[in-house]
Structure 1
Amino acid sequence: MIDAAAVRRLLRPADAVEALAEALSAGLDPEAEPARTAVPVPAGELLLMPAASGSWAGVKIAGVAPGNPARGLPRITGSYLLLDGTTLTPLALVDGAALTALRTPAVSALAVRHLAARDRPLRLVLFGSGPQAYGHLDALLAVRDVAEAVVVSRDPERGDALAAYARGLGVPESGTGAPEDVVGADLVVCCTTARTPLFDGRLVPDGSVVVAVGSHEPEARETDTVLVRRAEVYVESRAAALREAGDLLIPAAEGAFVPGRVAGTLADLVAGRLPDRGPVTGPRFFKSVGMAWEDLAVAVALYRAAGSET
């Protein structure tokens, strides 16, 4: 059993980033992953996410319960069952919410490591103030220096608390702001439950990086069509994005995006398969929907770390 406290103790955000990079470098193909199964239930939605790679297999059963935060409970619940890939014998049961809170920011950070400017500390605008926002701040600081963090939150108290957390992590120029603060941002990260765009895509500077992780539903998005039209687009998997990413599917329905405009995937970035992008002519946009292979890679790293403690 690997509970939430153990997840936080066993693996640093930087370790989770490396686990994902190593899985891709070893040849894992996200395009071949099975699709997520989503089942509506009265409390929200149940998600079934199986994956297998090499000597490992596993499945996450997650619940998305929109009413939970009002009860003082996490919006994302569930468990991850890690299996031996040869015999399918159970090896570990991992807290699913804690695993998700670790792996999703790690995916974003891996993309940022390849897409964001390296020559200066970054100005970050962070939309959201829940667990994913905290996790993203931790993970981003593992791959880039951040000079300033602006938190945009619907809840002023929670926004202030996250800004204070950022200052405690060594980002002294941290505070709350408004959507218009994307002007001049080097990095914009969206980890909210929003179903409509959070900011005006015209305001995002050329050369900046925008990451959106909040939705895996075709009808919901955090970014607008203007941003997608302007941006170089990167995804975890073309197949998954074209099934689930409302940030891309809604612009596609409007005639503003075609699948051939995807510049590359996370695996392409890690493998160095992409040609020189040349002069920057717009923002770079990474859209993540969350995939089962990511849970498997981080769960394996947790299992190995737990074994090293015994």
Structure 2
Amino acid sequence: MPDSIRFIDKAALERTLGWTQAIDALEAALITGTGNTPPRTFVEVSGGQLILMPGEVGPQVGVKVVSVSPGNAARGLPRIQGVHIAFDGPTLRPVAVIDAESLTLRRTASLSALAVRRLATPDSNSLLVFGTGPQALSHALAINAIRPLGQVVVVGRRAEAVASLVGSLEAQGLRARPGVPDDVADVGLVACCTTATEPLFDSELLQPDATVVAVGSHEPAVREVDTNLVRRATVVVESRASALSQAGDIILAIADGVPETDAITADLHELATGRLDITPGAPRLFKSVGEAWCDVVTATAALQAASSADMR
């Protein structure tokens, strides 16, 4: 192995690590079931907060270090910044530093696309995305990589942001248009990529076998989907432990009376290994809060892709 520590920035990661590569790497890790995500550590500092997120998958080890600085908006800087440090498993020698923002975008959207690949009906090829930020764009691109989308409908709070995302999607070769929340009735796939604290849409409007992915919230008191969806759907989460402690969509539904056994049908390992029976004619929901093992897997795939690009 090289003695130097490699740095992979946003441009290098996006250039070398394709969506299907990241999705397949996550699926392979889920099938083996060797992921380990210790609790996150939150450290208060004078400028804000540091968050340390370690993870391990087989021989792969890494930690994502993220800073949260509320005062950065006034400075014209991002509120959240960070890096992921990849280590050689046996020796724990650092081998790479990877831009955390681009890594998080790639792993989050790739995990959602993997869930769509496993959960959605074969004819689901229209997507409505709530949100207009980088996660919304990444989700449309990742899902399109595993099943070509006939149309993407964009719903957001600001018309100019919606128009900007529609333009970005069209520049990537996708058909896209602005929409409203009730348009969930006309699509087979829904991606919730927002900072909403209350449900974004009425789940009764969904098509009978629609698939919803919700990734925007990871706090116990906020949610993007309503209780009725959790009650009716086949619900998949990364792990029961993280969902029951962080996923407000699940926690609040249980508080509303949905039995815990109904609020979570399966975890991703069960989904990836084919141990989940999906209820026909009922919606499917994948709720993600983000786990560090996904960062480790995606970082390893990014490092391998960058090394392969060097040899071309």
TM norm structure 2: 0.90
Change in Cα spacing, 1:99 to 1:70, as seen in structure 2 (3 Å) is farther
Can you list the C-alpha shifts for 1:7-66, whole angstroms capped at 9, x where unaligned?
11120111111110121223324xx53123345667665322101222221100123456
Can you list the C-alpha shifts for 1:287-307, whole angstroms capped at 9, x where unaligned?
000100000000001111222
Matched residue, 1:175: 177
Matched residue, 2:130: 127
Following TM superposition, by how much is the alpha carbon of 1:199 offset from its aligned partner in structure 2, in angstroms? 1.2
Matched residue, 1:164: 167
Aligned partner of 2:8 among 2, 7, 20: 2
Q: Are the aligned partners of 2:23 and 2:114 in contact in 1 as well (CA < 8 Å)?
A: yes
Inter-partner Cα distance in structure 1 for 2:143 and 2:73: 25
Change in Cα spacing, 1:42 to 1:255, as seen in structure 2 (3 Å) is farther
Q: What amino acid sits opposite 1:10 in the alignment?
A: T
Matched residue, 1:270: 272
Alignment of 1:17 onto 2:23:
yes
Inter-partner Cα distance in structure 2 for 1:192 and 1:251: 19
Inter-partner Cα distance in structure 1 for 2:44 and 2:234: 34
Matched residue, 1:254: 256
Q: Are the aligned partners of 2:126 and 2:152 in contact in 1 as well (CA < 8 Å)?
A: yes
Alignment of 1:304 onto 2:304:
yes
Change in Cα spacing, 1:40 to 1:185, as seen in structure 2 (3 Å) is farther
TM norm structure 1: 0.91
Aligned partner of 1:198 among 197, 200, 204: 200
Q: What amino acid sits opposite 1:142 in the alignment?
A: A
Inter-partner Cα distance in structure 2 for 1:68 and 1:127: 26
Change in Cα spacing, 1:221 to 1:80, as seen in structure 2 (3 Å) is same
Following TM superposition, by how much is the alpha carbon of 1:163 offset from its aligned partner in structure 2, in angstroms? 1.3
Unaligned runs of 5+ in 1: none
Alignment of 1:1-310 (within 5 A): 1-29=7-35, 32-39=36-43, 45-64=49-68, 73-118=77-122, 120=123, 122-172=125-175, 174-275=176-277, 277-280=278-281, 282-310=282-310
Can you list the C-alpha shifts for 1:72-112, whole angstroms capped at 9, x where unaligned?
54454211000111111100011011100111000100000
Can you list the C-alpha shifts for 1:175-199, whole angstroms capped at 9, x where unaligned?
1111111112201100011112111
Can you list the C-alpha shifts for 1:144-195, whole angstroms capped at 9, x where unaligned?
12111110011211111211222233332x2111111111220110001111
Residue 256 of structure 1: SS of its match in structure 2? coil
Change in Cα spacing, 1:66 to 1:207, as seen in structure 2 (3 Å) is farther
Q: What amino acid sits opposite 1:129 in the alignment?
A: T
Q: What amino acid sits opposite 2:145 in the alignment?
A: A
Change in Cα spacing, 1:52 to 1:278, as seen in structure 2 (3 Å) is closer
Inter-partner Cα distance in structure 2 for 1:292 and 1:66: 23
Residue 46 of structure 1: SS of its match in structure 2? strand
Give the total of aligned pairs: 304
Unaligned runs of 5+ in 2: 1-6
Change in Cα spacing, 1:242 to 1:191, as seen in structure 2 (3 Å) is same
Change in Cα spacing, 1:165 to 1:70, as seen in structure 2 (3 Å) is farther
Q: Are the aligned partners of 1:64 and 1:77 in contact in 2 as well (CA < 8 Å)?
A: yes
Inter-partner Cα distance in structure 1 for 2:147 and 2:43: 38
Residue 50 of structure 1: SS of its match in structure 2? strand
Inter-partner Cα distance in structure 2 for 1:38 and 1:65: 13
Inter-partner Cα distance in structure 2 for 1:193 and 1:64: 16
Q: Are the aligned partners of 1:53 and 1:85 in contact in 2 as well (CA < 8 Å)?
A: no
Q: What amino acid sits opposite 2:131 in the alignment?
A: G
Larger mean Cα displacement after TM superposition, 65-74 or 213-222? 65-74
Residue 221 of structure 1: SS of its match in structure 2? coil
Q: What amino acid sits opposite 1:3 in the alignment?
A: D
Change in Cα spacing, 1:137 to 1:258, as seen in structure 2 (3 Å) is same
Change in Cα spacing, 1:98 to 1:259, as seen in structure 2 (3 Å) is same
Q: Are the aligned partners of 2:250 and 2:263 in contact in 1 as well (CA < 8 Å)?
A: no
Inter-partner Cα distance in structure 2 for 1:285 and 1:149: 19
Change in Cα spacing, 1:170 to 1:271, as seen in structure 2 (3 Å) is same
Inter-partner Cα distance in structure 2 for 1:241 and 1:41: 28
Q: Are the aligned partners of 1:124 and 1:146 in contact in 2 as well (CA < 8 Å)?
A: yes
Residue 183 of structure 1: SS of its match in structure 2? helix
